[in-house]
Amino acid sequence: MRPSSVRGVLAVVAMVVAAPAVWAQDRADIDRTQIIGNRELPKVLYIVPWKKPLPGDLSGRPAVSVLDEALAPIDRDVFRRQLQYDAQLQPRPAGAAPARP
């Protein structure tokens, strides 16, 4: 064999041996994602990086949740004041009289 052909064979062997090491570096291990919800809530998805809490950190249900606040009974006078306030914030067309409840 000629020296140039030996070099060529060695180069091919070196590439074949080094190729799996290069491919192994391209692999990334990612933890699984778990999405929990139910059909009663709005269909909105916020993706936030999160770390599982330790068992000692979990104290059960939160004291105040947004859902409890949304389903809480409302006071009629407070609701009417809120409607009046919201109506004042809305832009009115030119020449329109203010709305009265």
Instruction: Render pLDDT for 7-60 as a digit per residue (tens, 0 to 9).
Output: 777 777 777 666 665 555 566 666 777 777 677 766 777 777 777 767 666 666
Q: How confident is the model at residue 5 (pLDDT cuts 50, 70, 90)?
A: confident
| Domain boundaries, given as residue ranges, for the chain | 65-89
Nearest partner of 41 among 68, 63, 79, 72, judged by Cα: 68
- Burial level of 33, CB count in 10 A (0-12/13-18/19+)? exposed
| Tokens found for residue 29 | 């291990």
More confident residue, 29 or 87: 87
Q: What is the residue type of 89?
A: L
- For the ranges 55-59, 79-83, 93-97, the one whose mean pLDDT is highest: 79-83
Q: What is the mean pLDDT of residues 64-92?
A: 85
CB half-sphere exposure, 10, CA atoms < 13 A: 7
Judged by DSSP in three states, 97 sits in coil
| Tokens found for residue 72 | 């809480």
CB 99 within 8 A of CB 87: yes
More confident residue, 7 or 83: 83
